[in-house]
Amino acid sequence: MSSIKIKISAAVLLFFVGLFFLEIFSIITFSAYHYVVKGLSANELKNTIINRYKTIYNSEVITEIGDYDPVTQMQFPGNFEANNFLKTNSYGYLGNSNAINPLNTFPEKKERVFRVIMMGGSSMFGFGVNHESKTIPSYLERLSNSEINKIKSKYDYIQVLNFGHPGAHSSILLMKLSQYLVHLEPDMVISLDGFNDAWYALFEHKRQSGNFEHGVINWSDYSYFLHECINYGCRMNANQFGIIAKILPFTTTIVSSFSNKIKGRNKNLKKKMENYPPLKISKYIFEKDEGLHEAFIKNYAATAGLACANDFFFVGILQPHAFESINTLSPSELEKLKKWEERYGSYTGNAIGYEEQMRKIYNKYQEDLVELNNKLDWCEKVSFISFRDIFNFNHQEDFFEDNIHYTEAGNKFISKEIMPFLEKAYKD
């Protein structure tokens, strides 16, 4: 009898040991694919693995860019860890690590406080640095408050709010501003945009599983994923395996991925959307405006109209990216671009194709922003400027962490370039 119990116990033990090694093998396979084939960094791979576990055990789709919002496409929850370094406050935006009370008061606006709302994508939010005190808004807040007593002004403090969000573009700027930020009494709104608009217009639709000939106007990568997930079911849903997914999260993830590929789910997005009205309308716009470059200009123009009508300053900035300064980058910045090309080159035409297409659309952006300045010269509170060449000088210190995210030195440099526009607004 005892020998039977021993055999049963041994069989159970072997079963669970087998499950353990199967899961370990799955993790190794998953890691190798994402590290070698997809080119994720060690930190990105770690976050992907952690989020995969969260997805299995919480039955949620968790990303480093927060929740899907039905109006603004993307929104950070309160107290959300966007990565290992940056965490939003209870209102879903990133603080500046400033101990001065009037600068931390929100949503109430204190008297004699000049409120600045800064918006943009992950570059504005702070991807590229390891602490909220090193972002563009944080540097600008410290710099402006150190300078305010040197000039005559009716304000005692400059409050700078960081409403940058990874993946955001000019359409999201317009939507968030008109939806609720305009009601928070901003004295000034500063937006650093252009890169994500160009990226979505030129490349993102190629990266999606449908491989569209053109994109959906004013859609981000989040929009494609959530459209497919909400309307047709998520592309990878290991939770369909129930309790087995809880025991073998990575094994079921891999099985689910292969299952979806066999069933063709990852290849049907284009077919599902071919009669989708926004895509059909976008085709008409695309044929008139190759690259959809006018979307960026019209979004900025509409935001300017909102600023003029509500009597606050608006500065729309065309943001710099590394390939604009390719001839003056430091050796380590050039090495970073090589890693970027390995990851994204397959659908951007590698570095040469990417640079040509981005330069073409950026040239259009810059020309049209000059024209927009002329059209709106009657509204003194609005201005559009280009920062695309501000790093175009020989330097040994890194300003770029990758193609589009800035180092602490880069953020500090940009904040100094913005300072004259802010000073003009808050002084009497």
Q: Sketch out the chain's domains with CATH numbers.
A: 68-203+284-426 (3.40.50.1110)
- The confidence score (pLDDT) of residue 61 equals 53
- The confidence score (pLDDT) of residue 339 equals 85
Average pLDDT (247-272) is 71
Q: Which residue has the higher pLDDT, 223 or 195?
A: 195
Question: How crowded is residue 307: how many other Cβ atoms within 10 Å of its Cβ?
Answer: 23
What does the alpha-carbon distance between residue 361 and residue 197 come to, in Å, rounded to a whole number? 10
Q: What is the pLDDT of residues 276-294, one digit of tens each?
A: 899 999 999 999 887 788 9
Q: What is the pLDDT of residues 79-117, one digit of tens each?
A: 988 887 899 999 999 999 888 888 999 999 999 999 999
- The confidence score (pLDDT) of residue 248 equals 81
What does the alpha-carbon distance between residue 292 and residue 306 come to, in Å, rounded to a whole number? 22
Percent with pLDDT over 90 in the chain: 53
Does the pLDDT at position 59 exceed 60?
no
Kindly give, in sequence order, each residue whose CB lies less than 8 Å from that of residue 192, ignoring residues fewer than 6 positions away: 118, 119, 120, 121, 123, 124, 136, 164, 317, 319, 387, 414
pTM (two decimals): 0.86
